[in-house]
Amino acid sequence: MKKLCLRSPAKLNLALDVLAKRSDGYHELKTVFERIDLCDRITLWPRADGLVKVICSHPQVPKGPANLAAKAAMLLKQDLNLAQGLNIHIEKKIPVAAGLAGGSSNAATVLLGLNRLWKLRLSQKQLRDYAGRLGSDVTFFIYDVSYAVGEGRGEKIRPLPIPTKLWHLLVTPRVKMLTKDVFGRLNLDLTNKMDSVNILLPYLRKSVPSAIGPKLANGLEPAILSLRPDFARLKKKMSDAGACGVCFSGSGPSVFALARSKQHAGQMKARLDRRFAQVKIVSTL
């Protein structure tokens, strides 16, 4: 029985601007995505009964049709009138509901994997179209790039040919923070209207962490802190540990500190309290 094993990487948002509320209920965004080396492992293999099954030991990962990876497989099956069944095993390393797009990455990885496993010969444009139907962050992972600008809901992707490799200390509090709750707290009248993305990009291209750090920005931060004011202390703690800059990723609760090097990230990690259980050193992938 043929099995296909693939890595499914997480992302960080180095800058995120929330521009307006859209008529479809979503928000108009502009963001800089960074792909990082924190990865789930996805294994795909066929099953004879035509069903799509998710296998995962993580208690917070849906095992049924609500799982975004399963939705990706079902979308292809229904759209292309395919009879094949599929097992999707997810070895979960990316924290769930943490602003790191683990579910979106899993869905994109299944699309890419099934294009190979089922020999569908879908073009990248077709894969992007399917990804956009599944979720806002899914499309970024269709591209094999380290950085990209995302616009619209985040699904309109412009790859950035930037060779910069960054190191971060990533802390994910053991709190499930739902995107809809964060956006529900967002007050666009009070949101900083700076164009954080275009401010960041020239510094990102120059590859100097000490210059990049102060330009990290997330327009969702006020909404995140309105839900969890205690996270401000976490940010300060990471900043006091010597970070070049500290920022929430996506809708949180993950917070990342930009380091000067891998060694510097290790030094910051050593300074943090042991009570932060989910602390990882990650880098650009």
Q: Write down the catalytic residue from 40, 77, 137, 237.
A: 137
| Contact indicator for 9, 38 with CB cutoff of 8 Å | yes
Q: Is 240 annotated as catalytic?
A: no
Q: Is 206 annotated as catalytic?
A: no
Pairing of the two strands 217-218 and 4-21: parallel
Q: Write down the catalytic residue from 11, 71, 215, 269.
A: 11
**Rounded (10°) CA dihedral 94, 72, 146, 26:** -90
Give the active site residues: 11, 137
